[in-house]
């Protein structure tokens, strides 16, 4: 069997790293997967589940002889990790990441690459609110999109290889400028996560203030809206710190719209409320229909 990746090293063996390893193994795309993680227990679990074929907690040791390295740690540890592994990378290796923020991370990772090694920034737009290797599964990326963020310095062959990897696991690859990626994701992902965390906080404070069971009467709308507030706090802290400018812009924009809504509620302006609810409902239905068609 001619695997197109002989040895893949996954640094940060959690939901995303574990799922890519599983998906590539299941499709016979990879000869050997080595896991590297800060915590040994994740690596032992990964072995037990057959997600990886070997492991080490030493990142430099882990990347030796690897054709491809995926860094799937929380975003604030991506650049330090890439700097640490740089001396262990073999010429011709391709390093990529899965971080939810690109911008400066991509530039710093590119700058850290030794001669003959290339970095390609990546972000699979797929995930769940669960984390850890035990939450990983081989079909996570099927029907998803992956954004790759090449720069003027990105090698064509490296971009092609990373594209083939994501396509092999069922994802549609698009390319985007790293800064533009961060603005788009601040709007579509980062702001909604902040809102979900915040509404749980608001209701929790209310429950304490009024000493009554607010959550006992939380209906399915609450469950739908707040599902993503079960996401990993370290990951989301890092995303907020790393994409601060774009997230602040989105919070301000959202705040202005919330003030408008507040004004209409205060004024009893039913026409305006009805108009905005109808517009938003139509937009959501249209976007989801298009998305469904686009995924086929
Ligand atoms: P996860 O918590 O499931 O896994 C991360 C793993 O990295 C954990 O096992 C953790 O122990 C390990 N780790 C942390 N710091 C490390 C370090 N310095 N060195 C080695 N290992 C380290 O997280 P995840 O959901 O798989 O997310 C991984 C990356 O993918 C993040 O950058 C995140 O922004 C991005 N991402 C997540 C999602 C999602 O929905 N979960 C989607 C797309 C991209």
CATH of residue 240's domain is 1.10.3660.10
Residues 88, 69 share a domain: yes
Give me the pLDDT at residue 296, please. Answer: 33
Q: What pLDDT digit, counting tens, does each position of 258-288 carry? A: 999 999 999 999 999 999 999 999 999 999 8
Q: Out of 149, 176, 203, pick the residue that ends a domain.
A: 176
Per run of 10 residues, the mean pLDDT along the chain (length 296 residues) is 85 98 97 97 98 98 98 98 98 98 98 97 96 98 98 96 98 98 98 97 87 78 91 96 98 98 98 98 90 52
Helix (H, G, I), strand (E, B) or coil at 51: coil
Residues 184, 129 share a domain: no
Residues 93, 16 share a domain: yes
Residues 171, 216 share a domain: no
Name the closest-CA residue to atom 31, ligand 1.
74
Q: What is the pTM of this model?
A: 0.93
Q: How many structural domains comprise the chain?
A: 2
Residues 188, 83 share a domain: no
- Ligand 1: does its nearest atom lie under 6 Å from the Cβ of 94? no
- Ligand 1: does its nearest atom lie under 6 Å from the Cβ of 37? yes
Average pLDDT, the chain: 95
Name the closest-CA residue to atom 14, ligand 1.
73
Residue 172 structure tokens: 């549609």
Helix (H, G, I), strand (E, B) or coil at 16: helix
Residues 222, 170 share a domain: no
Q: Which residues of 249-267 are buried (b: 16+ CB within 10 A; e: fewer)?
A: ebbeeeeeeeeeeeebeee
- Ligand 1: does its nearest atom lie under 6 Å from the Cβ of 138? no
- Ligand 1: does its nearest atom lie under 6 Å from the Cβ of 77? yes
CA atoms of 58 and 63, how far apart (whole Å): 9
Residues 245, 101 share a domain: no
Q: What pLDDT digit, counting tens, does each position of 98-132 carry? A: 999 999 999 999 999 999 999 999 999 999 999 99
Residues 98, 11 share a domain: yes
- Residue 200 CA, ligand 1 centroid: distance in Å: 23
CA atoms of 30 and 68, how far apart (whole Å): 10
Q: Out of 131, 155, 176, pick the residue that ends a domain.
A: 176
Residues 195, 166 share a domain: no
Q: Out of 116, 146, 176, pick the residue that ends a domain.
A: 176
- Ligand 1: does its nearest atom lie under 6 Å from the Cβ of 122? no
Residues 219, 163 share a domain: no
Contact 66, 9 (CB under 8 A): yes
Residues 266, 232 share a domain: yes
Looking at residue 106, which CATH number applies to its domain? 3.40.50.720
Which residue range is the domain that position 51 belongs to?
A: 5-176
- Residue 129 CA, ligand 1 centroid: distance in Å: 12
- Ligand 1: does its nearest atom lie under 6 Å from the Cβ of 124? yes
Residues 169, 197 share a domain: no
Give me the pLDDT at residue 167, please. Answer: 98
- Residue 173 CA, ligand 1 centroid: distance in Å: 21
């Amino acid at each position: 069997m001619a695997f197109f990746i002989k040895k893949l090293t996954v640094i940060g063996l959690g939901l995303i790293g574990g799922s890519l390893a599983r998906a590539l193994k299941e499709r016979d795309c990879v000869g050997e997967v080595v896991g590297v993680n800060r915590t040994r227990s994740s690596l032992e679990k990964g072995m037990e589940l057959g997600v990886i074929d070997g492991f080490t907690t030493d990142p430099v040791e882990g990347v030796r002889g690897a054709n491809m390295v995926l860094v799937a740690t929380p975003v604030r540890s991506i650049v330090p990790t890439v700097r640490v592994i740089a001396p262990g990378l073999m010429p011709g290796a391709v390093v990529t990441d899965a971080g939810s923020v690109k911008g400066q991370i991509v530039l710093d990772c590119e700058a850290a690459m030794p001669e003959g090694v290339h970095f390609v920034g990546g972000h699979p737009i797929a995930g769940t609110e669960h984390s850890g290797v035990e939450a990983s599964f081989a079909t996570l990326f099927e029907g998803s999109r992956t954004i790759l963020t090449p720069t003027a310095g990105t090698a064509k062959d490296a971009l092609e290889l990373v594209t083939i990897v994501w396509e092999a696991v069922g994802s549609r690859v698009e390319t985007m400028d790293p800064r533009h990626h961060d603005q788009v994701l601040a709007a579509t992902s980062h702001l909604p996560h902040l809102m979900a965390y915040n509404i749980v906080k608001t209701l929790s404070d209310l429950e304490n203030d009024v000493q009554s069971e607010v959550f006992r009467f939380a209906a399915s709308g609450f469950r739908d809206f707040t599902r993503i507030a079960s996401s990993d706090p370290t990951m989301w802290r890092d995303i907020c710190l790393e994409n601060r400018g774009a997230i602040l812009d989105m919070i301000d924009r959202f705040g202005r719209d919330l003030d408008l809504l507040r004004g209409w509620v205060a004024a009893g302006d039913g026409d305006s409320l009805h108009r905005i609810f109808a517009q938003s409902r139509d937009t959501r239905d249209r976007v989801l229909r298009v998305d469904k068609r686009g995924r086929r």
